[in-house]
Structures are given as C-alpha cells and as structure tokens.
Amino acid sequence: MKPFLTGLALLCLTGLCAAAAPNGTFMDELDLSPIRQGWGEPQAKQSVAKRPLTLGGKTYERGVGLHAPGTFYIELDGSASRFSALTGVDGGVGDRGTVTVTIFADGAKVFDSGVMRGGGAPMKIDFPLSGVRSLTFSIGDAGDKNTFDHLDLADAFFETAGEAPKVVNRPPEEPYLLTPPPPAEPRINGPRVFGVTPGAPFIYRIPTTGERPMRFAADGLPEGLALDADTGIITGTIASGDKRPWDVTLRAENAKGKAERPFRIVVGDTLALTPPMGWNHWYAHYDRITDAMMREAADIMVATGMADAGYMYVNIDDCWMNAPKHKDPMRVGPARDENGVLLANAHFPDMRGLTDYIHAKGLRAGTYISPGPLTCAGFTGSYQHEAQDAKTFSDWGFDFLKYDWCSYGDIARKEKGDEAEKLKKPYRQMSALLREQERDIVFNLCQYGMGDVWTWGEEVGGHCWRTAGDLGFELNVYHAVARKNAEHHPYARPGAWNDPDYLQIGFVGDARVTGEPTPCPLTPSEQYSYMSLWCLMAAPLFYSGDMTQLDEFTLNVLCNPEVIEIDQDTLGKQGYPVHVDGEREVWTKPLEDGSIAVGLFNTGEASQDMAFSWEEAGLSGKYRLRDLWRQKDLGTFEGSFAAGTLPRHGVMLLRAWPEK
C-alpha cells in the first residue's frame, strides 16, 4: 500500500460480494461514493479493489478499507437492529500505522477503539441500533503522521428489517454569529507595530471601526510622513539612513466618541513584524482573474469593513502573465517584450494603474510568479530574468511577492550539488534582488515545506513560508494541517512566519477542478475553529474566497478585531497545542502584555461539555478570562474553567490575564 495518503479516502472494496446477506446489508454493498466525493475530501491515490482485507493474519473478502483521517455518515430509517464488524490496521502495512475509530449513534458515542496499531489484534465492533436514525464514523490518525494509517472495517454488517442504510454527505449546520456588531464609537485595530526600510514608500490605512464620518490624527509621526485626517491614510517616505523606532499615538474621533492607540513604526531592515493580512484571488477565481476583479476586491475590502479590521494586502496569484497556451486566448501571448521585460496578459492592461488604484485606498498590492520557466498553471515564470522581474514588480508598485516553486523543480533536478542548497538558491537570489529595489516588498516562499523550510526561510530572506501543500486539496483536514504547522513554532518570530496556506471560508472554488466559487464545505463551527487556529499560530491571514459573495457570517468569522489581535500580537510567538486527547485540544499562545491566549477545541463528532485545567494549559494562580469571539468578560477563575457545551468541531477562544 502506498503511504502518505491524506484525508478519509476509500481504498478497498472487495468486489466479491454482490448478493445481500439475509436480513441485512454488508457495508461494502452500499453506495460509498459520498465518502470519496464529499467536496474537500481527497481522492484515493490507488485502488486495491480486487484484494481482500487482512486483519490479524486472516483474510476477509467483505469489507471496506479507509485511510485516516476523516469522517463519514450513514443514514438509517430506524429499522436497523444491529451493526457488527471487525476493525484494525490493515495487515498490508505490517506493524506500521496508528488509527482510531469512534462511532456515534444519533450523536451519542457507541464505540471508541482507542489507538489501534499495525500488527495488533483486530477489535470487535458490535452494538444495537434500535430506533437509531444516523451513524457517524470518525476515523483518526491518533494525533501523529497519517503514514500507513490504513483502516479496515471487515465483515461490516447491518442487521435490518427495512430499507438498506445509505452513506450520505455531512448533514448541514445552520450558520450562527458569535461576534456582536462593532460599536458606533471609534475602535482602532490592526497591528501595534509596523516595519519599513529607510527611503521606501510608506502607506498605512489606520484600521478603525465606528460610524463615519471620522477624523484621524497621529502624534509623533517621523519626518517625511503625513496623515490625511479624513481618510486615516498615512503616506510618505522616511529619510534614508534614519534607522530607529518611532512611537506614535493614533487617534480617531466621530460623533459617538474618541479612541487612541499606540503605534510603533520601526525604521530598519525587517518587514512583516506581524503576520501579513489581506486577500489573495487563487481559491476563488483561479485562471479567471482580471484587473477589474482585483479593483473590485479592493473596493469591497474597504466597503465591508475588512480593511477596518486590519486586512491590507490585495494580491494577485497565478495567471496574470501570458501563457504559451490556454483556453482563454486573452491569456496567450509573448512572455516578454523586446527588452526582456515581463508582459501581463490582456486582462491586465495597466499594472501600474492597478497598484495605484489599490494604494489610493490606503491598501497594499501583491503579486506572484515562479522561479522556474513556467508557473504552476503554465504561465510565464522568472527563470533567467530574475533581476528584470524584481525591478518590474517594484516599478509597477507591488508590495508583496509570492514566489512559487512550480517548474523550478525541473531546473533543480538537473543541477549538481547539495540538495538543501538547491532548495534555497532561487529564494536567496530573489530576496537579494528585492532588497535592491526602491520599495519594500514582503517575500513569501511558496515551496510546500520542502527541506524543512521553516529552519532556513528567514536565512534566505523570506518573511513567511508555506509549511505544507495546498490546503484547498485537503480542506477537510484543516485541523490536522494546523497541528502539523504548530510543530514548527520555535522558528516563528517577527518578520519570519510559518504559513499553513490561506483562509478558505465563505464562497471558494473546488481546487481539484479550479471551480467557480460555491459555499465552503466546512460547517460554521469549523470555520470559527479554522480562524481561531490560524490566529493562535500567528499565521499570515489571507482570505481567499469570493469577495463579491461576502455575507454576514463570513465577515463575522473574518473581522473580529479581538481575535485578530491574537494573530497580530507584537511578541510574535506562535501558539501550539499543549494538551491533545481523543475529542479535545487545548492550545496556548503567550502575548506581549503578559496575557495568554487559550483555544479550547471540540475535535469530537458530537456536541459536548468542555473544560480545561490550569495544569493542561500551563497556568497557575488566578486569571481573568475574556471570551474573544463573543467579546464578553467571563470573570476570574482559578484551577480550571468550564466552557459549557461546544458544538461538533467548535471552539472557545479565550484571553487570560493573570490576577495579582
């Protein structure tokens, strides 16, 4: 069996069992396509449909093989009387693999395998089903890597007197809003610190919620910067060579009240002193992106209040250049002009005009390319034109560059030398070229975690780096991806961030087919958990859904300023799980003011009462707690905290201040 499969994927149907058993149905007789076809569920990488299952040295010709992690659902009509099966790690992986199986009947747990290991004896599953309407099967990877996690359900049989069971897609969950509307009086949001190099153009829109019109002021701005009091946009250039921190006080006032906040501008060599925030077009629009869509996204970022919560980058991903071939003739054309300068395709007639439009709103513009000859989607890359392209991006006015490995892999394979150095080479080269430009360009290394990039991404000049593959292909396992990314927390710091990929909530397109935007397959509870995890991890916060279909719920998840403050904390520490068990996780993140962010996650398949102890969270003494999603003070607690009932895959995100 091939290792490294991710997500719940159907691996084995024996194909030897066409006839129904008396008074019942074997699981392998059911239509199992929802297990594989639920959007966000990866496909199986291989089929072993003609090979029987093996458990404990015995062969079984009936059953279903699965790969952890994942969840599937079976609908009953209430007439089933019993379910039985044998389960364990398939014998084909030897003594490798660790898997768990938890089964819920109408939300109540009826079976929990604990950790099953390769080579172990199979476990018997046998429980009554009288009156049960639905079963949920949760397949886990035991909290470690899911390599060789091949689970068998052998001789899985439903005793029934009526209709056969049906495998169904996940039942829908109605959206709900955790965060109250922002108050009418001003509240200044966003980072408390911002890095800029001497002599580089500076642009910063003060993120502020509250009724408009509003007037802004900034005390202590360095010479060369000016504030537009009506828009709250700071622009200008700080004198070259003047490296130092400037402590500024930002102020905002409207008819309802006043607000002020400290803001430190650090003039030096380090950018991205907090994780960058913004929007990237990829998972919504793929190769359909246009100049008009980018401008519209910038308009919406301001109009919806995303910019008031701190989102500032409006980034093009792949497919803005020309391609040698493409289904859209407006995206086909010469790669470069007679001087070797990179050409945008016909959907992007004026790149400088586009960035000027974005900058006029107080926002920043980002772009994308590959160090190889072609991008991942087959458009023009930077290979052998790196210096020209760095200058072009600067001349066009871009403030962010995503540099995607893609076809550079073909170049690296042909080169001789140390493998680690080959991974670093294109990023070290482009970083040096970006630093030569007249503007600050935040540099994102997109190479999917190869060569443990978190250990050297900062060394080669990166400000953030992808730590895994494209999350769009395995969105259902966002929590497992977060746990893996969190392992790299020692390497995160101001100016150097672990990036587990974009926020894909709201309306997003299926990455497997680069589809048109449709509702995110994650439940509302999962979307709140997703955002909480990214903020606890101090991850770059780039929304990658359809900006034209932002609804109240999606904005509620994206724009809670108290949740975002956890991500943007100036201490720059990455949070990680401090306690993990079968159905509960506790994460913590230390914060600059001495408080601690605590995330309590229900990872089980049913609603349950949740709590955590101070020992689990590494706390001691008394703490004043605030519920950040609900923006509600909870009181002072000592020793433990009971959160009440959390829904399936739900979260409570707290901020804890020590009481003296």
- How far the first Cα of the chain sits from its last, in Å, is 57
- Joined together, the tokens standing for residue 627 give 């519920």
Instruction: Give helix 351-360 / helix 291-303 axis angle, nearest 10°.
Output: 0
How crowded is residue 620: how many other Cβ atoms within 10 Å of its Cβ? 11
Cα separation values, 590 from 81, 358, 465, 536, 596, Å: 51, 34, 22, 9, 5
| CA-wise closest residue to 538 among 585, 589, 483, 579 | 589
Tell me which H or E stretch contains 624. strand 622-627
Q: Is 144 a catalytic residue?
A: no
- What the block records as the tokens of 297 is 């996204």
Packing angle between helix 351-360 and helix 386-396, nearest 10 degrees?
40
In 296-395, the DSSP E strands lie at 313-315, 364-369
Do 512 and 475 contact (CB within 8 A), yes or no? no
CA dihedral 196, 443, 350, 233 (to 10 degrees): -30
Can you count the helices (H) and strands (E) in the chain? 13, 41
Which residue type does 309 have?
A
Helix (H, G, I), strand (E, B) or coil at 622: strand
Q: What is the DSSP string of 26-74?
A: EGGGS--HHHHHSTTPPPPS---TTS-EEETTEEESSEEEEESSEEEEE
Query: Of the listed 152, 318, 389, 404, which one is catalytic?
Result: 404
Whether residue 324 contacts residue 378, with contact meaning beta carbons closer than 8 Å, is answered with: yes
Q: Do 478 and 471 form a contact (C-beta atoms < 8 A)?
A: yes
User: The tokens of 209 are what?
Assistant: 């919620």
Exposure pattern of 527-563 as b/e (b: 16+ CB <10 Å)?
Answer: bbbbbbbbbbbbbbbbbbbbbeebeebbbbbbbbbbb
CB neighbours of residue 250 within 10 Å: 25
Is the four-CA dihedral 286, 292, 296, 299 of positive or negative sign? Answer: positive
Q: What are residue 24's phi and psi, to 5 degrees? A: 175, -175
Longest dimension (CA), the chain: 86
How many other CB atoms are there within 10 angstroms of residue 623's CB atom?
Answer: 24
440: CB partners within 8 A, 6+ apart:
196, 197, 200, 201, 271, 399
609 in catalytic set: no
Query: Residues 582, 584, 586, CA angle at the centre, nearest 5°?
Result: 130
Closest Cα to residue 80, out of 181, 164, 174? 164
Which amino acid appears at position 172 of this protein? P
Nearest to 41 by CA among 73, 2, 7: 7
* Burial of 251 from C-beta contacts in 10 A (0-12 / 13-18 / 19+): buried
Q: Which residues make Cβ contacts (< 8 Å) with residue 158, sequence separation at least 6? A: 24, 25, 26, 27, 76, 80, 82, 83, 129, 164, 165
Which entry of 77, 106, 299, 470 is annotated as an active-site residue? 470
Contact between 137 and 155 (Cβ < 8 Å): no
* Contact status, residue 601 vs residue 578, Cβ threshold 8 Å: no
- Residues forming the active site: 404, 470
